[in-house]
């Protein structure tokens, strides 16, 4: 979840982890911690036809989430 300043142009004010509720401080539009951000439009062959879901997950919740995967995520360093 993201909260915005009320201005003509929207600027991220803070980011809140949808899982644990932790607030990630944003200074001048730059988050002070990295987050996992998703925006997904569900397609016709789903039970959520054309719904758009979006959320932000902090790194700690992300790590906890992917640790439960049966197949590990692909990791690449560049
Ligand atoms: Zn979290």
What are the angstrom distances between the C-alpha of 38 and each of 8, 18, 35, 56?
24, 11, 10, 6
The burial class, CB within 10 Å (0-12 / 13-18 / 19+), for 56 is: buried
Ligand 1 centroid – CA 12 distance (Å)? 18
Ligand 1 centroid – CA 15 distance (Å)? 11
pLDDT at residue 76, rounded to an integer: 94
Tell me the per-residue pLDDT of 55-69, one tens digit each, with 9 for 90 and over.
999 999 999 999 999
Ligand 1 centroid – CA 67 distance (Å)? 14
**pTM for this prediction:** 0.79
pLDDT at residue 7, rounded to an integer: 62
The C-alpha atoms of residue 37 and residue 39 are separated, in whole angstroms, by 7
Ligand 1 centroid – CA 56 distance (Å)? 8
Rounded (10°) CA dihedral 18, 21, 15, 70:
-40
- Stretches in the chain below the pLDDT threshold 70: 6-8
């Amino acid at each position: 979840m993201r909260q915005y300043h009320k201005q003509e142009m929207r600027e991220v004010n803070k980011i809140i982890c949808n899982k644990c509720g932790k607030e990630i401080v944003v200074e001048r539009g730059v988050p002070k911690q990295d987050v996992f951000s998703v925006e997904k439009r569900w397609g016709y062959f789903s039970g959520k036809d054309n719904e758009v879901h979006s959320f932000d997950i902090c790194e700690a919740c992300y790590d906890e989430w992917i640790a439960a995967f049966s197949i590990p995520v692909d990791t690449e360093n560049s």
